[in-house]
Amino acid sequence: MPRPIQSSATLRGVKYEIRGQLAHRAHELEKRGYEIISLNIGNPGLFGFRTPETMRLAMIENLGHAEPYCHQKGIFPAREAIVMQQQERGIRGISVEDVFIGNGVSELIDLSLRALLNRGDEVLVPSPDYPLWSAAVALNGGVVRYYDCAVERDFQPSAAEIEASIGPRTKAIVIINPNNPSGAVYDEATLREITQVAEKNSIVVLADEIYDQMVYDDAKFVPLATLVENTVCLTFSGLSKIYRACGYRVGWCVFSGQLERAADFMHGMELLASLRLCSNVPGQWAVQTALGGYQSIQPLVQPGGRLYQSRQTVIERVVDSPYLSLHAPMGAMYAFIRIDERCSRQLDDRAFALRLLEEQHVLVAPGSSFNTPYTDHFRITTLPDPQTLHVVFDRMNLILEKAA
């Protein structure tokens, strides 16, 4: 009998459990007729959020220009709009030649790491992290070294601990701000300290800022590239979250800082971009309108706005629960919730998530899916309306009461 065909050994240790076994089980339950409340993915369109109409019209009006391949880095109007946004934020010395547009930030993370890493090079990644970063490092021959964004520090990183993690093979550091999954927003002093460590050790800064305008209360987003001068910085962002256009698959990566040092790196990334010809062209025609027009995210994240009120509901329900605790998320669209020790001794994060799905038909992501050393957290998206969130927490409490 022929031997089974095995998957590549490079996939060993690679995980993306946000769409993993629990999500597969949820799909099976849906096929059997159960209604699942899926809180495992930050997908605004599934919760009634619409892409701004002006962006849709920009795509429609330019469909005739979207049929051929475009330049491997992206169409000029979109890249020009991205440069203008970066310049308005105080980032100098960049041009359209320093911008790459991809099929979402996900593709650009992969391309940039493939262009940067040699086998065995190390990348500093936060814990908890967005697991695509860990997976992409491993898939491109790198080694992940986690730096702790400790619960006790409200998930803030420590520049001193980061510096202590740097070794002779350290090539880059990933900063996710606002953070997914914790919702932490890093202040300027912290970012400046991390930047100084990166510059001192001549390592590349990879700034994942896909949630850049999604901040709450008195939190302030500081673009990392405004602080980086003496090393190379790559800023990643896109249309998916702020502009509620996940399905358009439009992300971008902007090189800044010591660009002369990055010439060969950028050439390698352009070569990889050329091999895939170009990214989705119709969605790129929405970029100029998105960045240059009315920023409709602002009323959503302010008091009374849909995102703000849903986040507030999560905070209030956690406060009211004897079984849960939470550092209030100051950015992004997630809450990283801790299970009380009375319950977590009986139910770790995976067991809790499975029981919640099987018995109450609510899908969440176990905290350890985000590469944490602890197993007493879980992540939910805060996108549902408050009424749905009340239902979710009522169902959670039924599971936790049994475990307490």
Has residue 75 got a pLDDT over 80? yes
The residues that bridge with 379 in the sheet, in sequence order, are 336, 365
Q: With bands split at pLDDT 50, 70 and 90, how would you rate the model's confidence at 343? A: confident
pLDDT at 18: 81
**Does position 404 have pLDDT exceeding 80, yes or no?**
no
The DSSP output letter for 101 is E
What's the pLDDT at 193?
A: 97
Render pLDDT for 282-296 as a digit per residue (tens, 0 to 9).
Answer: 999 999 999 998 999
The mean per-residue pLDDT over the stretch 253-257 comes to: 97
Distance CA 210, CA 102 (A): 13
**How far is 196 from 156, CA to CA, in rounded Å?**
17
Segment 340-345 long-range contacts (CB within 8 Å, at least 24 positions apart): 340/400, 340/404, 341/376, 342/403, 342/404, 343/400, 343/403, 343/404, 344/375, 344/376
Average pLDDT rounded to a whole number, residues 43-64: 95
pLDDT digits (tens, 9 = 90+) for 231-247: 999 999 999 999 999 99
pLDDT of 1 reads: 79
Residue 23 has what pLDDT?
Answer: 92
Q: Which amino acid does the sequence have at 60?
A: I
Q: Where in the chain is the domain with CATH 3.90.1150.10?
A: 9-49+299-403
Q: Which fold has domain 9-49+299-403?
A: Aspartate Aminotransferase, domain 1 (3.90.1150)
What is the per-residue pLDDT for 15? 80
CB count in 10 Å sphere of residue 129 = 24
Residues of the chain with CATH 3.40.640.10: 53-292
Residue 402: predicted pLDDT: 85
Q: Is the pLDDT of residue 2 over 90?
A: no
Please tell me the predicted confidence (pLDDT) of residue 148: 96
Q: Is the pLDDT of residue 230 over 80?
A: yes
Segment 167-180, tens digit of pLDDT = 999 999 999 999 99
Mean of pLDDT over the chain? 95
Would you say residue 137 has pLDDT above 80?
yes
Gap between the Cα atoms of 268 and 273, Å rounded: 9
CA distance 309 to 43: 17
pLDDT at 19 over 90: no
CATH class of 53-292: alpha beta
Residue 13 scores a pLDDT above 80: no
Q: What percent of the chain shows pLDDT beyond 90?
A: 92
Give the range among 34-38, 117-121, 281-285, 346-350 with minimum mean pLDDT: 346-350
Q: What's residue 9's pLDDT?
A: 82
The pLDDT, as a whole number, for residue 403 is 79
pLDDT, tens digit, for every residue of 153-204?
999 999 999 999 999 999 999 999 999 999 999 999 999 999 999 999 999 9
The predicted model gives 147-153 an average pLDDT of 95
Model confidence at 33: pLDDT above 80: yes
pLDDT reading at 123 higher than 80? yes
